[in-house]
Structure formats: structure tokens, C-alpha cells
Amino acid sequence: MFKRTAFIYCQRRTLVNVKLKWVKDRVLDKAVAGGRELKAACVLISLIASDPDGCIPIYRLSRNRGQLGLPDGLKVSTFMRRYPNVFEELHVPDSGGTRVPWFKLSSEALDVYQDEVVAFQKCEVDILDRFKKFMMLCRKRTLPLQTIDQLKWDLGLPYDYEKSWIRRHSEVFKMVQLDDGREALKLEKWDQSLASSHLERNSGSSLANNRVLAFPIGFTRGFGLNRKCMKWLEEWQKLPYTSPYVDASHLDPRTDVSEKRIVGVFHELLHLTLQKKTERRNVSNLRKPLGLPQKFTKVFERHPGIFYISRKGDTQTAVLRESYDRDKLIEKHPLVDTRGRYLSMLKEGFLERSRGSYKKDKMDDELMSSLDCQKNLVRYQSEEESDCILSEYE
């Protein structure tokens, strides 16, 4: 009877037209700063460290540009040269005598990477559960690989998850092909033990569906709500809460109850990420898999007390406010610690290079011989003669 009453109520409750202004939050902007550079550096570090020789030519690294998220006008080589304390550059003549830039990791970066590997092994069960919950949010528990790729770093997945990590968990995941020919990943079985949201667990209720659950709210200093918005927000918080892990197809998308469900979906999604934030564009392809209406990301603007949209770094990043105490994460995942060490290295390397502290190494021949890169170059060139090689040379 209660469910039926809630159903009728939510169908009659129309979507209130309330517009809240965006107010810059310098504290949370600080938490977002350097995120794009950190992600790109982490992917490059993983690529180089996983290579048997620990040294890769720039044209091989540039093939993974799509994973880096760098601005269109920025070369991969230019980005890597900003951080000489992380990426060490050497040059190897190819068969035509052209000096090819190669990159390896500094000893300090390699130490941090090894600590990262150990940290991942210790928390792999946690990463697996997070990813399973993410897949359970989706219809048919299936997502195209390109959609997962956009969120894999935020979820803590290895850069080559589909080749290595997924194969180790073949009893949990299955590779499938969609009707449009794209490769996709499917979660084989629903795990009921994981089918509760962060908000439900914090409320102490395992069956919070259609119950009144309020989201934690906090606004930027100086943010003022007029009486109309304040009253609307108070009434909105009292609406029935629909768990993101249950079927919500019966909800009318033109209602506030449906909007509260959408907020709940993104509230849960951001909680599943390691740093409780992600770029807005990363969720742009999730409308159909999550069963959301058009313009679903508008909830970020309508609920600035729950989410903050940072415009730092020429992009928009959605941040979950409740997870931060000023610019620091309240609960820090072990992998976030290693990312913090990488970020400190990037800041240090960029400053030192700007001051001219790093000089171009004139002993390329010695570095080349120590890594035996001449032999590796022949091996790489035998695999494929790339047309894009010269375009990356400087």
C-alpha cells in the first residue's frame, strides 16, 4: 500500500522550475587542480613501467594519446618534457639516422610505481567490488569498452584492464559484442550483497527504497538561497528516495521524485570513484545505460549543495561536496596516496624545469648503451613502420 501511495504521489509531483546560480569555490577548485596532468602522467607511467625494457619510443607512447585526455594542441613529448624528474629522455638513431626520442622512468617514479602496484594488490577486492557496483547501476549490467575507458582511472582500474585484469576475473565478467558492433563488457551475475547505495548504508537501512532519505548538503561560502529556493529544497529532501540499484522505469521523468533518483545515481557513482570526482564529459555516454532522461547532467547545476562543478583546467569536473573537508578527501583510498606522491613530483619537476635546474643530458650514447635501446628500436620498427613517427620528432 505504501509503495502504491508513493507511486501516485511521485506521479503528481511535478518538476519545480528552480534555477540556482553557480558560485566559484576556490577551495574545491584547489582539490581539482592538476587532475588532468596527473591522469595523463599516471597512464604514461603505467605504459613505460609495464614494458619489458622499461623504455619506449615516443611514437609508441603517442598511440595511446586517446587515454591521456591532453589538450588537442599539446604533443605527448612536450607534456613529458615538462616533468624531467618523472620521465627521462634519451635519443636513439633509427635505421635512417634520425634521432628518435625515447622515454624511461626516473628511479624515484619507478619506486612510486612499485608502491602503487603493491597498494593495488592489497585493495584489489575493493576495486573489484566498486566496479561490480558500477556495472550494476547499468541496464543489463553491460557497458561499451569506450564508455568504461572514460571512467577507468577514476574507478581505479588498470590502464589495460580489458587485457589483464578482466581476464583474471573471467568468472565475473564477460566480453560481448553490441548490436552496433562495438565491444562491451558484461557483469555475469547480480550481487545482491552489493546492491545498496552509500546513502542507504549510512542511514542504517538496507531497504531504503521509497523511504525519505535526505542528501548531505553544503554550500560554498557566500552562497545565498532565497526563500523560494530554501522552501523547495526542504520539500525536495522529504521526497521518497529511490535506490539507484532498483528499476525506476515507473517514475515520470518530469517529476521531482525522478530528479531525486537521478541525483541518487550520480551521488552513488561519485562515491564509487576513488577521489569522489570525475570530469563531466566522462558521464556523457551514460544516459541510456543508466536509464536517464535527456539533459540528465542538469542536476549538477540544480543541486550545488550536493555537487560542485569546477571549471578548473579547461574542463568541467563534478565533485561530491560531502566527501571533502575543504580541499582534502575525508576518506582517502590507498591508491589516492600514491597519486598524491605522483602529483607532488609533477609540481616539483615543473617548477625545477621552469627555473632551468634540469639540463639536457649530453651523454645520450651512454644512456642508449646502458638500456640497449638500439636493439629495442629494431624490434619495434619490425613490428610496424609508422607514418606518424616524424610528426612527433622535435
What pLDDT shows up at residue 88? Answer: 95
| pLDDT of 9 above 80 | no
Whether the predicted pLDDT of 176 surpasses 80:
yes
Least confident interval from 184-188, 254-258, 264-268, 389-393 = 389-393
Lowest-confidence segment of 256-260, 261-265, 326-330, 372-376 by average pLDDT: 372-376
- Given a cut of 50, whether residue 365 has pLDDT beyond it is no
HEC string for the chain? CHHHHHHHHHHHCECCCCCCCCCCCHHHHHHHCCHHHHHHHHHHHHHHHHCCCCEEEHHHHHCCHHHHCCCCCCCHHHHHHCCCCCEEEEEEECCCCCEEEEEEECHHHHHHHHHHHHHHHHCHHHHHHHHHHHHHCCHHHEEEHHHHHHHHHHHCCCCCCCCCHHHHCCCCEEEEECCCCCEEEEECCCCHHHCCCHHHHHHCCCCCCCEECCCCCCCCCCCCCCHHHHHHHHHHHCCEECCCCCCCCCCCCCEHHHHHHHHHHHHHHHHHCCCCEEEHHHHCCCHHHHCCCCCHHHHHHHCCCCEEEECCCCCCEEEEHHHEECCEECCCCHHHHHHHHHHHHHHHHHHHHHCCCCCCCCCHHHHHHHHCHHHHHHHHHHHCCCCCCHHHCC
Mean pLDDT of the 307-319 span? 92
8 pLDDT more than 50? no
The pLDDT score that the predictor gives to residue 358 is 58
Say which residues have a Cβ less than 8 Å from residue 158's Cβ, sequence separation at least 6.
Answer: 46, 120, 152, 164, 165
> Given pLDDT bands bounded at 50, 70 and 90, which one contains residue 208?
very low
Q: What pLDDT is stored for residue 372 in this prediction?
A: 52
pLDDT band at 352 (very low <50, low <70, confident <90, very high): confident
For 158-170, what is the mean pLDDT? Answer: 90
Whole-number pLDDT of residue 6: 45
Residues 56 and 102: beta-carbon distance below 8 Å: yes
Rg (CA), the chain: 24
Instruction: Work out the pLDDT band at 285, boundaries 50, 70, 90.
Output: confident
Of 39 and 9, the one with more pLDDT: 39
Between 186 and 73, the more confident residue is 186
pLDDT above 80 (res 13) = no
pLDDT digits (tens, 9 = 90+) for 17-30: 666 788 899 999 99
Say what the pTM is: 0.85
Task: Tell whether the model's pLDDT for residue 3 goes beyond 50.
Answer: no
Q: Is the pLDDT of residue 58 over 60?
A: yes
Report residue 367's pLDDT band, with 50, 70 and 90 as the boundaries: very low
pLDDT tens readout for residues 101-127: 999 999 999 999 999 999 999 999 999
Computed over every residue of the chain, the mean pLDDT equals 84
Report whether 273 contacts 294 (CB < 8 A): no
pLDDT confidence bin for 43, thresholds 50/70/90: very high
pLDDT band at 374 (very low <50, low <70, confident <90, very high): low
Residue 210 confidence (pLDDT): 56
